[in-house]
Amino acid sequence: MADKKQEILKELYPEDIYQYSSKLTLGEAEVLQHTRQIIEKELRPVINEYWEKAQFPFEAFYKLADAGIMNNPKLFVGREGETKPSQIYNTFLYYELARFDASIATFYTVHGGLGYNTILIGGNERQIAEFAPKVANFEWQTCFALTEPDHGSDIAGGLATSAKRDGDNWILNGEKRWIGGADTADIVPVFARDVDDGKIKCFIVRKGAEGYHAEPIPRKVALRPVQNGHITMENVVVPESDRLEHINGFKDVAKILVNTRTDVAHIAMGITGGAYVAAVKYVKEREQFGKKVAAYQITQEKLARMLANVTSVIGFSTRLAELMEEGQYEMVNASLAKMNNSLLMRETVALAREVVGGNGITLDTDVSRFFADAEAIYTYEGTHDINALIVGREITGIGSFV
């Protein structure tokens, strides 16, 4: 059985030369293998077209549900009664998706990471029972509405969207910006400040709610298929029964963010791996001065640096997954991984673009997508600076955000 698992993993991730993926179970490896088959059959043929026309390939994406990426019973062997698959599987699921395409991984993290974790962490039993299964099997699309036009990095203290209790209802007013999938989501968890006690709470706004409007942000040069919405809310009514009961302040929001910051570290890991694999493929095919570009020492030095980066980011992510599985993790762990993986991702996509030459700026080699998309990952889920400040506070004991 171990041989079968190793065979699958060698085929899926030949670049994982330190074999971090061997921590996956056979069942988890099989789900990832099935995911790869769906990606190659359904998504690869259309991804560049959708990137160029800035539309999301919903039909092809939802084929991923056939692999049961969030709830395949193979993921719960030995984890009976758990609501989520293992952290190591989660790490390699993000690796698998982002190694193919950052927009697909980002759309998934908004839905299956940010949105889903908000329901699991914030919801009461009834709310989890109503929302979680539909989100897990992709029947309902969800997202995560926290950032605002005037408050990005300083959202914890600055959040301005208001919620006013009115009998059995709440009235929401305000704006949100950059919210992935906001225009198509069936349920939108919106974070707003209760005008009476000043605390941040979370409200499920359902599709079609009066006064809710989401306009996709146009002319993006990264993650073009993902529609990031600018939301306006004017007297949107949400019943008390749709307020997530366990979110009562930013400390509860932080519990969600620590999970998704980890997921984004894994996305950076996937982009790093994907850019490396695409670059190796190209230089082995391309000839200049009568030899493969791969045959030149300067190219090989760059490939070696890229592989070192790939190995480093997989190491960061898998160790973080182990710590999370053991319940031993803090925001600083997630911030360190997101910061490190994003830095190495940025260097790797630049090296990949370099060795691919002119074709590295067309969509034909995959490298240009990774290169452009890396910039968005560098910024969302805590910019490089903000994550560095979280790590810096841990090192020095001095918070220097303001």
**Which residues sit at the interface with ligand FAD, rule CB under 6 A?**
110, 143-147, 152-153, 178-180, 223, 228, 376, 379-381, 383, 385-386, 389, 401
Q: Decide whether 12 or 179 has the Cβ nearer to ligand FAD.
A: 179
CB of 251 to ligand FAD, least distance (A): 17
CB of 157 to ligand FAD, least distance (A): 11
CB of 315 to ligand FAD, least distance (A): 26
Q: Decide whether 267 or 376 has the Cβ nearer to ligand FAD.
A: 376
Query: What is the length of the chain?
Result: 402
- Cβ burial 87-100 (10 Å sphere, 16+ → b, else e): bbbbbbbbbbbbbb
Q: How far is CA 13 from CA 22, 234, 265, 267, in A?
A: 10, 48, 18, 15
Question: Which residue's Cβ lies closest to ligand FAD?
Answer: 152
CB of 34 to ligand FAD, least distance (A): 27
* Neighbouring residues of 175: CB distance < 8 A, sequence distance ≥ 6: 148, 149, 161, 230, 231, 232, 233
CB of 180 to ligand FAD, least distance (A): 4
Q: Decide whether 146 or 265 has the Cβ nearer to ligand FAD.
A: 146
* Angle value at C-alpha 312, between 344 and 268, nearest 5 degrees: 45
Evaluated on CA atoms 268, 271, 273, 275, the torsion sign reads negative
Q: Decide whether 214 or 376 has the Cβ nearer to ligand FAD.
A: 376
DSSP state of 150: T
Number of CB atoms found within 10 A of residue 303's CB: 18
> How would DSSP label each residue in 216-276?
EPPS-SSSTTS-EEEEEEEEEEEEGGGB-TT--SHHHHHHHHHHHHHHHHHHHHHHHHHHH
CB of 325 to ligand FAD, least distance (A): 26
Q: Decide whether 145 or 268 has the Cβ nearer to ligand FAD.
A: 145
What is the C-alpha separation between 209 and 16, in angstroms, rounded?
47
Q: Decide whether 146 or 278 has the Cβ nearer to ligand FAD.
A: 146
**Helix, strand or coil for residue 210?**
coil
Q: Decide whether 38 or 155 has the Cβ nearer to ligand FAD.
A: 155
CB of 115 to ligand FAD, least distance (A): 9
